[in-house]
Structure 1
Amino acid sequence: MKNMLTMIVILFILATSLVSRAQAGDVSTFVGLWEAVDPLDGSHLVLSITKNEDDTVKLLIYDTFFTTCDGNRGTGQGTGEVSAEGALKVDDFTISCFETGNIQTAFTTFTRNSDGTLREVLSAPLTPLIIYHRTNK
């Protein structure tokens, strides 16, 4: 009876551990340096994703031609969390335009594709997908 109780406690702890990991999402699959080409304007995008101490991530994007910056250069940055479904969601994504000084806030979501690439789903309607490729391992 004592062994059975011990076994039940161990299984409960193991199950709780697995569920909490699934709820947190896997941040490590997103961390790294990524590059893409914007299918709308052909601009070069560089995306850096770093892990914060609280398991959120910091994103920094450099774009050579932000449409929202009247075709000029700019950066985008924000903090995101990986959901239990495995999507990286950024609610405070801020775009800063170099030449005009304009600042815009949006939300964006990134998901991992089966081939290891990263897909950005933008909040703007009818925007084509942007596919990022990891440039470091």
Structure 2
Amino acid sequence: GKTHLSIAIGLKAIQAGYTVCFERVATLIKLLKMVDIQRKAAFRVNRILKADLIIIDEIGYTPIERKEANLFFNLISELYEKASVIITSNKRFDEWAEMMGDEVMTVAMLDRLLHHSKVFNLSGKSFRIQKEEED
């Protein structure tokens, strides 16, 4: 569903000559936490910051601590109006403040994410469950 669609858009962007980075939010937050102490993490974060399209997958599937949410907010602020961002989530926007642990920061982050954006709400059965039922 959501991840499949975001990857398809990413592949089209690559075919059109754009640079694309794909990270699951848990991996991305781990990188952001290690950027000051690990050269490899700094390299990957720098690559993300230079990409034309950044796909951040699975926001809301695992809890995010407040410090991690602040790191994520700083990344979104850095990318704002510099790169295109695709985010997949199983959470509605009105659930993000609880997930991030800070309503003011979440509103500011969503303001940056939703400005110039197109939101797609996907509904229906999970592709994996539907495929399992067909088999």
Q: Which of the pair has more CA radius of gyration?
A: 1
Q: Which has the higher contact order (CA 8 A, sep 6+)?
A: 2
Range into which the TM-score falls when normalised by the shorter chain = under 0.3
Task: Give the alignment's TM-score, normalised by structure 1.
Answer: 0.23
Q: Which has the higher helix share?
A: 2
Task: Give the alignment's TM-score, normalised by structure 2.
Answer: 0.23
